[in-house]
Amino acid sequence: MPTSTMTHDPHQPRGLPRIVIIGAGFGGLEVVRGLNLAPAVVTVIDKTNHNLFQPLLYQVATAALAPSDIAVPVRSLFTDMPRVGTLMGEVTGVDTDNKLVHVKGVPDIPYDHLVLATGSVYSWFGHDDWARHAFTLKTLDQALALRSSLLAAFEWAESRTDPDEIRRLLTFVIVGGGPTGVEMAGAIAELAHATLARDFRRIRPNSARIVLCEGGPSLLAGFPDKLSAYARHHLEDLGVEVKTGAQVETVDRDGVVAGGERIFAANVLWAAGTAATPVAAWVGAETGKGNGIKIDEHCAVPGLDGVYAVGDCTYMEDAAGHRLPGVAPVAKQQGAHVAKVLMQRLIGEPLPQPFRYDDQGQLAMVGRSAAVADLGGRVKMTGLVGWLLWSVVHLFFLIGARNRITVYLNWVWAWLTYGRGARLITAIDPQVRRDFAHLDEIAAHRPVLPPAA
């Protein structure tokens, strides 16, 4: 751990309060936007150099979009904000007594105010050993690894003669029936049954088996029953096997055991639940369900001077005593509120009213020209209308005019032709070790496809 402290930046005014934000996701960026005119020096720390629009990450994993379509360099967002600096690095801890952030390989970073916006990770519910046999979907690297594995499954199947091996390669299991699981199941079904249908000579991609396993009684928990039923019906029309009440008992190199049934599959996607990143241990904060940091009505961490937290790494309840969901709107609204709190503190004004989440509804894509939308109250949409609303909302919140235009044109082209232009196989992420050919473990630098004979 570094023992030195980062010196003063000669390009920044001396004496200004120092605000450090850990995480450049939805919540972290919203804090920065609200502090644009603040009399303070702001430092944003993230382990990557880009901001990622996670709601469309599944489309990268299924070859509908390229990585650059849904991500932008963090530095490019702050070009016109001279008091905002960025640092790509891995935070290893926080010294709240001396107000220092420890970053791997660099001197400690001092702060006067600290905002934790580190997001969430997938939870394996006590079965961490399952992680080596399943994909998750939180980062671009994971999306690209999954994309390569999905596409390579068809390539490997084309060269196989054993019917059982072909069947295993062309079986895809998604664990978790929330929005990510539903969207992935529909996208894989359309990829197999439409996009790839005419590309192969020996196999029939439209014979691929896509299985969606949900431990609860219905898909899209939290959505109205009518919308959940619509999503299930549409997925089944696409050829997806929907298994509700199917608790996963095992995830291994052969596939999964769910609801007492062994499903042999070369590709398993885990989308069954999340937990906060272990940021609470950095600051010694009290946690709630899902390991989220408990925060007060102004998103401050009780007992820690100048420390705030927003987004998926937090635990906050609504007026009814229910935990706020781990979704982008919560992170954005909390981020905006923390920015107001900090601004008021900096200028010596009274604090704003306590934070209250404004639930504007929820959306989920089910497939081509089909989505479900619950806008709260009596407004519910399905089908083409829901899909159009889903598309408009996602384009609106996507960062960057170039990305909006590119994504829109890709969607139009895909809708007209069923084509997907990002069907490239690259090296599998070495951290996602997959037994693809069922022959041996894929080594860190082994390509997805075997070398030519």
Residue 5: predicted pLDDT:
64
| pTM score | 0.89
* pLDDT range class, residue 434, cuts 50, 70, 90: very low
Residue 430: predicted pLDDT:
43
Per CATH, the number for 18-47+89-122+274-347 is: 3.50.50.60
Tokens 């007026």: give the residue.
319
Say if CB 127 and CB 322 are below 8 A apart: no
Nearest to 71 by CA among 116, 138, 21: 138
- Stretch(es) of the chain classified as CATH 3.50.50.60: 18-47+89-122+274-347
Nearest to 207 by CA among 280, 154, 262: 154
Residue 447: predicted pLDDT:
35
Dist CA 255 CA 232 (whole Å): 23
* pLDDT range class, residue 418, cuts 50, 70, 90: confident
Residue 100: predicted pLDDT:
97
| pLDDT at residue 440 tops 90 | no
Dist CA 3 CA 228 (whole Å): 54
Residues labelled as active-site residues: 183
Q: How far is CA 81 from CA 12, 78, 174, 175, in A?
A: 12, 5, 42, 42
Domain range 128-272+362-417, CATH architecture: 3-Layer(bba) Sandwich (3.50)
Residue 431: predicted pLDDT:
40
Average confidence score pLDDT of the chain: 90
